[in-house]
Chains A and B, each alone.
Chain A
Amino acid sequence: MLEINGVAASNGIALANAYCLVEPELSFEKYEITNIEAELDRLKSAISRTKLELEEIRDSAMLKFGEERAAIFSAHLLILEDPEIISALEAKINEKVNAEFALDEIASMYAQLFESMENEYMKERAADIRDVSKRLLAHLLQIELPDYSRISSEVIIVAEDLTPSITAQLDKQYVKGFVTDIGGKTSHSAILARAMEIPAIVGTKTATKTISHGSPMIIDGLNGKVVVHPTEEIHESYRLLERKQREENELLKKYIELPSMSADGHSVEIAGNIGKPEDVDAVLKNGGEGIGLFRTEFLYMDRDELPSEEEQFNAYKTVLTKMAGRPTVVRTLDIGGDKELPYLKLPAEMNPFLGYRAIRLCLEQTEIFRTQLRALLRASVYGNLKIMFPMIATLDEFRAAKALLLEEKHKLADEEIAVSEQIEIGMMVEIPSAAVIADLFAQEADFLSIGTNDLIQYTLAADRMNERVSYLYQPYHPAVLRLIKMVIDAAHNNGKWVGMCGEMAGDEIAVPILLGLGLDEFSMSSSSILKTRGLLSKLSKEKLAEQVKQILLLKTSSEVEQYVKEVLN
């Protein structure tokens, strides 16, 4: 038995035999040709055969994965027939070299051009050029590339990396998971595995060297673990676990269409947290009733400059349009702390979590903030937008942020640009000072959203990234629960609604407590939505409201946990 660890890129468990993808050797010699016309014909005929093959792959990808995924092959076809590339190839062949050599020279030149670009996205386009040129080279050499669509038994794919054209040929019925040597959570194969809803471990470094074709293996997508030649005992335990997960997922599916309602008929909203516009699909697929947190930082990260108003407008518009009128809470930029933007050139700080971040930065660098607010306001007409400010510590900050928002709104009105009149303006409660005076905030904010990840670490003064004090990260600490109660009561006393958008909102011990405390909106990662809705449907809100009074008198986090477990049973 052999264990390999890698990056957990897509959740789930798979048990099947290894299918090692080995690409055929496409080697050739450079030689001088005598008949230029004949060589040009040979190139032309290879291009037309490659074209037919790509069209076939595109059509089959269209059937298997839909238009979005097939689009990459429309791009490949255009690369293949790119007039600039073809005339460069012809010019090279006119220098009396063979077509293979000409192709290698020209394709490498273009691939290097893209690789040298600063933009990450453009760098990746080099892979498309190499992919197309490999296919054309195989046709020139008359070597057949393996047809992976012929896989007809259950397998786990083991490869160095997966190219777009390989993955588009894989049939979900038989391909149970991926293991790759390279790549991270956002690499092509990781994204594809999540779209196919199969487990994947990437970045194992050694998988292709240590796993042989046909070996029985297990992949555990939650823990990033690969087990090759498992013992019978381990195999059996994973088989049971896999079956249990599959059955649970089946059972949860019935909650997709059902409203989020407690056993005694009280409705709440279960929403999803997103980081990118495309994450909306997963929220809707899991029956999310809204978005409780759109972290807008992603728009600013992995790039060299601030995103323009237009770019942001398009991103917000996409999200709001897809959500089709469902409540969508967007949090304004929360950068600083552990999330850096190199191009802002912020000085390093001793205590980044207590430093210059989020609203503190936005209220000083108001141009950055105003651009985002304008983009949000302009997008507001496309859906049900609610805006909240992060890291509010004082009433002055909230007022200042709101004033900037209203200023931009008036400016847009002067420019005769439409803005929704229904936008709610709220704030995150994640600093203890804000929780303690939530009654004052609730008079001025339209809603409050409790950010538990930060609220817990600030309340217990424990950095959640520091393993040595991680025991202090206690969501059920009586102080945390009492603060949450203060916030919920303060909002309700002022006729406002209150949500929660930290990990805690989907935690099975916390959910009964939060329901009993009267929380209105639970926002969590999409994958937790159905489980939480299932749990809620079994709980009585009125009974919990009584039990919560007891819970708030308990003395420690573990007493709380124990009590809730007993109540649930």
Chain B
Amino acid sequence: MERSFKITASEGIHARPATLLVSSATPYKADVQLTYNNKSVNLKSIMGVMAQGIPAGAIVTISAEGPDEAELLNKVEEVMVTQGLGEKC
């Protein structure tokens, strides 16, 4: 299961947005990957997410696999949108 987002946070996915995204995914059991520029990292790893250096305007894909994958993706989407980090596309 996957969803794509366009990043709208003015500084891209820096420390604060990365913290929010990783915190939103961590409580779930499902494995979750964030793909940007053909490179995938574990969305539960803040170092991995920050190391991607995702700028504003980037398109990222988040794919989850596991028993609670739908809940996880819903939560990630909620955080993306309500915190002004990105919009669904």
Interface residues of A (CB under 8 A from B): 71-72, 74-75, 78-79, 81-85, 110, 113-114, 117, 119, 121-122, 125, 128-129, 308, 310-312, 314-315, 318
> Which B residues from 6 to 29 make CB contacts under 8 A with A?
8-11, 14-16, 18-19, 22-23, 26
B23 touches A82 (CB 8 A): no
Asked if B47 lies at the interface with its beta carbon under 8 angstroms from chain A, I say yes
- Closest Cβ of chain A: how far from B5's Cβ, in Å? 13
Q: How far is the CA of A197 from the CA of B55 in the complex (A)?
A: 33
Chain B: which residue is nearest A122 at the CB level? B53
Could you list 30 A-B pairs, sorted by A, with CB under 8 Å?
Answer: A74-B19, A74-B23, A75-B15, A75-B16, A78-B19, A78-B22, A78-B23, A79-B46, A82-B47, A82-B48, A83-B45, A84-B45, A85-B45, A110-B47, A121-B14, A122-B50, A125-B50, A308-B56, A308-B57, A310-B10, A310-B56, A310-B57, A311-B10, A311-B56, A311-B57, A312-B10, A314-B10, A314-B56, A315-B10, A318-B10
Q: A308-B55, A314-B56, A314-B84 are in contact. List 7 more A-B contacts (CB 8 A).
A: A71-B15, A78-B22, A84-B47, A114-B51, A117-B51, A128-B15, A311-B57
Is B47's CB under 8 angstroms from A85's CB? yes
When distances are taken between beta carbons in the complex, the residues of chain A under 8 Å from B15 are 71-72, 75, 125, 128
How far apart are the CA atoms of A39 and B1 in the complex, in Å? 38
Interface residues on B, range: 20 to 34
Check if B61 is an interface residue, CB within 8 A of chain A.
Answer: no
SS class of chain A's interface: helix, strand, loop or mixed? helix
- In the assembled complex, which residues on chain B have CB atoms less than 8 Å from the CB atom of A119? 53
Nearest A residue (CB) for B7: A310
Partner pick for B46 among A82, A117, A308, CB 8 A cutoff: A82
In the complex, are the beta carbons of A310 and B16 less than 8 A apart?
no
Task: Tell whether A129 pairs with B47 under 8 Å between CB atoms, given A74-B23, A75-B15.
Answer: yes
Knowing A71-B19, A75-B19, A84-B45 touch, does A310 contact B8 (C-beta < 8 A)?
yes
Please report the C-alpha to C-alpha distance between residue A113 and residue B53 in the assembled complex, in whole angstroms: 11
Q: How far is the CB of B16 from chain A (nearest CB, A)?
A: 6
Residues 46-75 (chain B) with a chain A CB within 8 angstroms: 46-48, 50-51, 53, 55-57
Residues in chain B near residue A122, CB distance under 8 A: 50, 53
B35 on interface, CB distance cutoff 8 Å: no
Closest chain A residue, CB of each to CB of B8: A310
* A86 nearest CB neighbor, chain B only: B45
Closest beta carbon of chain A to B84's beta carbon, Å: 8
Q: Does B40 contact A (CB under 8 A)?
A: no
**Interface contact B47-A79, CB-CB below 8 Å:** yes
A417 to chain B, nearest CB (A): 15
Residues of B within 8 A of A83 (CB): 42, 44-45
Residue of B15, B23, B48, B84 with highest tally of chain A CB at under 10 A: B15
**Considering the chains assembled together, what is the distance between the CA atoms of A122 and B8 in angstroms?**
18
- A117 contact set on B, CB distance < 8 A: 51, 53
A191 to chain B, nearest CB (A): 14
Task: Determine whether the beta carbon of B46 is less than 8 Å from that of A78.
Answer: yes
A385 and B51 CA atoms in complex are apart in Å by 37
Chain A residues contacting B44 (CB-CB under 8 Å) are 82-83
Residues of A close to B23: CB separation below 8 A:
74, 78
The listed residue with most A CB atoms (<10 A of its CB), out of B46, B48, B51, is B46
Shortest CB distance B59–A (Å): 12
